[in-house]
Amino acid sequence: MNRFFGGPVLPTLFKLAIASIAVGVVLAVFGIRPIDLWRDFIDTIARVWEMGFDAIGWSVQYLLLGAVVVLPIFIAVRLWSVLMTRGRD
């Protein structure tokens, strides 16, 4: 347990409590409330999630757009090479 806390448990918990109070006072001076931090954190996670799905939608759109051009050319080239190979035999 000492290894996890980086030393004896009680002094470490005491240091954490003092640091938490100090940070709480500083945040209160700036008018930041804990619920605001959590709300912003959750909103950020939601935005990142939406951006991920937007990126997937964007990439699928361009994949399909490119496939409209690339696949017919690929099929034509493959058919041409098969016909040319059979013509030689």
Give the tokens for residue 20. Answer: 């938490």
Count H helices and E strands in the chain, helices first. Answer: 3, 0
In the chain, what are the domain boundaries?
50-89
φ, ψ of residue 50 in degrees (nearest 5): -65, -40
pLDDT tens column, 38-50:
999 999 999 999 9
Report pTM.
0.49
pLDDT tens column, 47-61:
999 998 889 989 999
